[in-house]
Amino acid sequence: MNTYDLNLILNPNLSAEQVAIEKEYIETTLKGAGAEIASLDDVGNRRLAYAINKDREGYYLMYSIKANGNPEKDIAASLRLRDHVRRILVVKDRPEWKTKKA
């Protein structure tokens, strides 16, 4: 299994209940695709570099997952169909990025 970073930006105007529903849907989608959630970093509302749908903020969720195959195709395609999901980024985690240079 390879390790991936799954970063999502949600609508910043969601209530706490709506955010919980979105998290539950994301976890169900990940488990349905055969991925394991290693960690979740719930950053919350942050200012964006540019406006998305006239919003200057976004609700950030950063998952670290372990998956086989191509999660961009399997997972991100189904998450893009959600109305509250603004952006999705799936990046393969590489060990050489974590090493310190001399």
Where do the domains of the chain lie, and which CATH numbers do they carry? 2-95 (3.30.70.60)
Average pLDDT for residues 23-47, to the nearest whole number?
93
pLDDT level of residue 73 (50, 70, 90 thresholds): confident
pLDDT at position 101 is 61
Average pLDDT over the chain reads 89
Catalogue the E-assigned strands of the chain: 2-10, 36-52, 55-67, 85-92
Q: Which pTM does this prediction carry?
A: 0.85
